[in-house]
Structure 1
Amino acid sequence: MNRKTIVYIPVVLLVLFISSCTKSIENVSRPENYYPGTFSDVFEAFWTGMNNNYIFWDIDTTDWDAMYRRYQPVFARLNINDSADVRKSVNYFRLMTQGLVDSHYNLSFGYGAVADSSIDPAYSRKMDTIHRHVFYPQYVVGYMDDGVDGIDNSTDPNEVRYAIAGTINKNILYFYCNIFELKSSYESSTNNDIKKVLDYFFAKLANPEGLKGVIIDVRGNPGGEVTDLNFLLGKMVSSPLTFGYTRYKSGNGRLDYTPWAPAVITPQAGSKGLNIPVIALADAWSVSLAELTTMAIHTMPNGKFIGETTWGANGPISSNQNYNGGQFTASDFLYAYTSSSEFKYLDNNIYEGKGFPPDIAVPFNENYLSQKRDAALEAAITDILQ
């Protein structure tokens, strides 16, 4: 995705959700990758790619056939060798995709006058109403007794991974990370401070005597690697936890789907499970795997979600080499970044494009922040200690 947030800790918004389940894509036709001869080539490749690969046609209200009838003649009149027409085409693609429910969806262009341009429908819809992105650890530290924090920029100097863990009121264990790449940092051959944060956190989980609750803070977290679900939450459960279901495209038909398969958190070695409250803190900037983490915590018998309704990008992402649906390149003119599978929560609701709602809503409060206070964190503390 081309959306990026830099607040205290630089974050590249990775929203990759890589499933452990793969299936053959043999004999499934895809838009060809070739240098475009005409805008008709580009349009046909893009329309077909969306028609075949887009995963949300069962819930999306966009009339894709109407888009063909409306825009096929429009693109046929454009000259691909005219830079003005090339720029016009981006607006037409924006109009075609502006209502898509997939909140991961992004179009990027690498051709001529529009090289490095992009379209992000979900962000465009939210940009005038969503509050600013906040780096919450700067406020949380004022509530903490002790703890440890650290960074890892060994993989990519432009992507700083940050995590902090500690206790609040001496009996609440708190954990935050700015992106879900915890397992890769922990298992990295390069020394980094994320390891010591996780060692601290896992040691507290292994010996929870005296703890009254755990808070997992994913506010502002854009998602990351699916392996972190088991790596982190698997330390908190003693038996497999089903928190939802996923399904994939099984063919080129818009509604060709595989059966729903359970999405499960698997206990990790040494996990004894927790019989104390586990609270997820999430906000409107919690995206993708941060939302799935919130949903999984909400599913725990002792789990709860406090904060704001999340972003609404729940569909897993993976390479289209593994799946019938998902990302594709249209005629070497544009690249479509889109979910490769569909996710529904345990309650059988699909929260794509809507966001997952909290058990206890705590709206964004700029006045609190100006006083160095964190309203959602205070609500979580109260809920645990009451």
Structure 2
Amino acid sequence: MKRYRPFILLSLITLAACKKNISNPVSDLPPSTFSQAFDEFWNELNVNYVYWDVDTTNWDAMYQRYKPLFDSLKIDDTADLSKSVGYFRQMTDGLIDHHFSIAFTNNVLKDSSVIPSYDQWRKDPAFRFPYSYIGTDERYLDSGYRMGNNLLPGSGNYVLAVSGTIHGNILFFTCNQFQLSASFGSVAGNGVQLVLNYFFQRLENPTGLKAVVLDFRDNPGGDVNDLNFLAGHFIDQSLHFGYTRNKSGNGRLDYTPWIDAAVVPQSGAQAVTLPVIILADKYSQSMAEIMTMALRTLPQCRVVGETTFGATGPFAANALYDDGSFSLPGFLSVTTSSVEFKYIDGKMYEGKGFPPDYPVAFNVKALDTLDDPQMDKALSLVQ
């Protein structure tokens, strides 16, 4: 699922024209030996990974260390297949790309995966499991709020959206994932469409409102189109929020020039001048982070909560960028960012997360009593 790409058509044309010539392409056939599988994996990541300019992983050292280990494995041996998963995990453990993952398509390994970002998070002393805030959000909302869902045809994605007011004058919106544009154009009258219509109408007619609160906590991201679709309702002119570039050659540091990343306003949208407060947490990922970062460039927007997950690099089909994700047929599939993203402040937040303006720690004891310290802080800023 594509989660993000540059948002100006010119950028897409420019990037798509910058193709690499791969000197050692992956075979169309499944690897016949572990030596072949290792070489193809190492070479593809060596060429396609977009964060080599900032990632401290010594990829050459990984080759020297793990090449003999893979050479000693037999690809038709079940125990060796299982052992290889551990080697792949160790090799990639320090990668900063928080979209990076390995899914194994080999029948023996189909239930195995490698997700370095999650492994890194599990080792953090602050590790916690996700928490759904919908129940506590409802406690703060005035009666008459809108809640609707939609099951997207084809993908089967379940989308939930909620909007209403708090204290009669603070407009609120949240969703469980960013599949809003697809839901809006889905079956007429579906629940998400009705919620979005309400929210957009209130944005366009803000009489009586004094602030907007957006809750992007516990949101794994989603569709790239939602950036323009949602954030584009807050602006009446292009909003420059960062820069992107991708690989242009086989060298680790062969890159295209940086180009602007910008949100395009929706037709008929007007600039929102009300204070905008965004709630974010460790499980705000990918498009939830990009949405937060883009809106944060508005002068009246602030972020409350925790530092986000750190998966800011967009990924798309390899055919578009000729870098990023790749696969070894019949053995494994790698997801990794296609584009390197740098925020408007010149910093990269990949693998680190975007920090809040007002840090408020996760407090499960308070949440269990339906009190939300992060929401309380957000509301205190606009009272």
Equivalents in 2 of 1:41, 1:358: separation in Å? 45
Q: Does 1:16 align with 2:9?
A: no
Among 324, 327, 337, the residue aligned to 2:325: 327
Counterpart contact for 2:46–2:59, Cα < 8 Å: yes
Equivalents in 1 of 2:155, 2:222: separation in Å? 17
Equivalent in the alignment of 1:4:
none
Equivalent position amino acid for 1:23 in 2? A
Q: Does 1:103 align with 2:90?
A: no
Equivalent in the alignment of 1:290:
288
Equivalent in the alignment of 2:301:
303
Question: SS of 2:321's equivalent?
Answer: coil
- How far did residue 26 of structure 1 move? 6.2
- How far did residue 209 of structure 1 move? 1.1
Q: How does 1:27-106 map to 2 (within 5 A)?
A: 27-29=21-23, 30-106=25-101
Equivalent in the alignment of 1:200:
198
Counterpart contact for 2:5–2:316, Cα < 8 Å: yes
How many correspondences in the alignment? 372
Equivalents in 1 of 2:5, 2:259: separation in Å? 15
Counterpart contact for 1:131–1:364, Cα < 8 Å: no
Give structure 2 stretches of 5+ with no counterpart. Answer: none
Among 110, 113, 116, the residue aligned to 1:115: 110
Question: SS of 1:322's equivalent?
Answer: helix
Deviation per CA, 1:230-252: give whole Å up to 9, x if none.
11111111221111111111111
Q: TM-score, normalised by structure 2?
A: 0.94
- How far did residue 270 of structure 1 move? 1.7
Equivalents in 1 of 2:155, 2:370: separation in Å? 30
Equivalents in 1 of 2:329, 2:67: separation in Å? 15
- How far did residue 268 of structure 1 move? 1.3
Question: SS of 2:50's equivalent?
Answer: coil
Equivalents in 2 of 1:134, 1:156: separation in Å? 27
Counterpart contact for 1:15–1:288, Cα < 8 Å: no
Bigger shift: residues 324-333 or 246-255: 324-333
- How far did residue 375 of structure 1 move? 1.0
Equivalent position amino acid for 2:21 in 1? N
Q: Does 1:144 align with 2:141?
A: yes
Equivalent in the alignment of 1:347:
345
Counterpart contact for 2:20–2:248, Cα < 8 Å: no
Equivalent in the alignment of 1:131:
128
- How far did residue 337 of structure 1 move? 0.6
Equivalents in 2 of 1:119, 1:243: separation in Å? 32
Deviation per CA, 1:75-131: give whole Å up to 9, x if none.
111111111111111100011000000011100112142123101001011125422
Equivalents in 2 of 1:193, 1:125: separation in Å? 37
Counterpart contact for 1:327–1:339, Cα < 8 Å: yes
Q: Does 1:232 align with 2:237?
A: no
Give structure 1 stretches of 5+ with no counterpart. Answer: 1-13
- How far did residue 156 of structure 1 move? 5.2
Equivalents in 2 of 1:47, 1:36: separation in Å? 13
Bigger shift: residues 300-309 or 231-240: 231-240
Equivalents in 1 of 2:112, 2:189: separation in Å? 37
Q: Does 1:378 align with 2:370?
A: no
Deviation per CA, 1:170-206: give whole Å up to 9, x if none.
1100000111110111011454110000000000001
Q: How does 1:138-287 map to 2 (within 5 A)?
A: 138-145=135-142, 146-155=144-153, 158-189=156-187, 191-287=189-285
Equivalents in 2 of 1:157, 1:249: separation in Å? 30
Segments of 4+ moved more than 6 angstroms: none
Q: TM-score, normalised by structure 1?
A: 0.93
